[in-house]
Amino acid sequence: MGYKAGLSLLVAFLLYGTVPAPQVGSDPYLLLLAVLREVLIGVSIGFMVRTIFAMVTASGEVIAMQSGLSFSRAVDPAMASQVTIVEQFLNIFTILIFFCIDGHHTVLRSISVTLREIPPGTAAAKAALFPYMIGMTGKLFSAALKICAPVIVTLFLVELALGLLCRMIPQVNVFVEGASMKILITMGMLAFSLNIIAPVISGLFKDMDGEIMHIIRCLG
């Protein structure tokens, strides 16, 4: 958490002086209100960016549950929680795409734009903000289905084939034999579908600039 606070202070220091300070006088309540307005801007933008990563994590969780890899979990120090191997892989893959297409530049540029479009202490949530956030979240999780669809459909066909095999040859222990087969097929299908997953994730990050600007207009 220390590096997050340090990065926040560094960004605030670099942007300090680019806009005039709000005239709140000596009233502590007005100062608290101005701080809460700025927190609203940060929470709205951060929610949108974080939802993209949460969408990829949800895709990895679904794939892990269907393939049997959900039994193996590791501690994610960033989120202070246990995640599956597939979640970790997709999360790292998403972070690499985020930095490769300069997504961090987009976030920093958006923070600078908010200071010009919404002077400090003047943010106010419009009625269109919350329906827009809900619709945007639904769109992001529909993209999550595109990410996990190739693996999920393949695993469904594998389950169907194993079910037919169990009916044809009851002596075969389908549960034991199928578990290792499903893991192997999942790894292979996940590797082959990366050229489908990467454009979906990069497209979300490329649209992030316009989404953030829409959020800024809903707060201005």
177/103 Cα distance (integer angstroms): 43
**pLDDT at 75 (0 to 100):** 67
Which positions of the chain have pLDDT values less than 70? 1-2, 20-26, 74-80, 172, 220
User: 118 and 220 in contact (C-beta within 8 Å)?
Assistant: yes
Q: How far is CA 62 from the centre of its chain?
A: 15
The DSSP secondary structure of 81-137, one letter per residue, reads EEEEHHHHHHHHHHHHHHHHTTHHHHHHHHHHHHHHHS-TT-----TTHHHHHHHHH
> Closest by alpha carbon to 198, among 71, 65, 100?
100
**pLDDT at 78 (0 to 100):** 63
For residue 83, the 8-state DSSP code is E
Predicted TM-score of the model (pTM)? 0.80
**pLDDT at 21 (0 to 100):** 66
**pLDDT at 186 (0 to 100):** 85
For residue 19, the 8-state DSSP code is S
pLDDT digits (tens, 9 = 90+) for 12-57: 777 777 776 666 666 777 778 878 888 888 888 888 888 888 888 8
Number of compact structural domains in the chain: 1
Range of the domain at 33: 2-219
SS3 172: coil
